[in-house]
Amino acid sequence: MGVRMTDIDRIDRRILKQLQADGRISAVELADKIGLSPTSTGERMKRLQRDGYIAGFGARLDPHRLGLGLLVFVEVSLDKTTPDVFEKFAQAVKRAPEVLECHMVAGGFDYLVKTRVADMAAYRHFLGEILLALPGVKETRTYAVMEEVKSDGMLPV
């Protein structure tokens, strides 16, 4: 299944690590962190993007500052007797802005949903009016996050 054209070396990994931590670092500053010229650094950055190692850049926003103080995980079980439930559910979830992540899992339930809302009242509304309103949703289990021990989600490179 090889779509990849090239492989990456030690220097590429250091570039990826730095860019993951600070996506707005200049090629000049990055260059002398890794001991290369700005030109070569820029070329490598462009190659890493072209080959898909870097999917994009983004600002990390503070959810609490934006009034999204409550993080909630929901386990969802679907009624598998109806056809298309998985498709419908997946599409609905992609449209819901409260849903940050949604993963189909193997195990005791079908989907694990990560949600961020303002407070419990907002979550109650989301659960009742949006999630449970979807056809085929048989059961949900809610886990409110009390403390975010680790949240950055940085990949080990």
CB-neighbour burial class of residue 18 (10 A; exposed 0-12, middle 13-18, buried 19+):
middle
> For residue 133, what are its two tokens?
């309103």
Can residue 44 be called a binding residue for DNA (CB under 7 A)? yes
Can residue 63 be called a binding residue for DNA (CB under 7 A)? no
Helix, strand or coil, per DSSP, at residue 92: helix
Q: Go through 141-153 and write b for each residue having 16 or more CB atoms within 10 A of its CB, e for each that does not.
A: eeeeeeeeeeeee
43 binds, among DNA, a second copy, none (CB under 5 to 8 A by kind): DNA
CB of 31 to DNA, least distance (A): 7
Can residue 119 be called a binding residue for DNA (CB under 7 A)? no
Can residue 37 be called a binding residue for DNA (CB under 7 A)? yes
CB of 37 to a second copy, least distance (A): 20
Residues of this chain that interact with DNA (CB under 7 A) are 6, 11, 26-29, 36-40, 42-44, 46
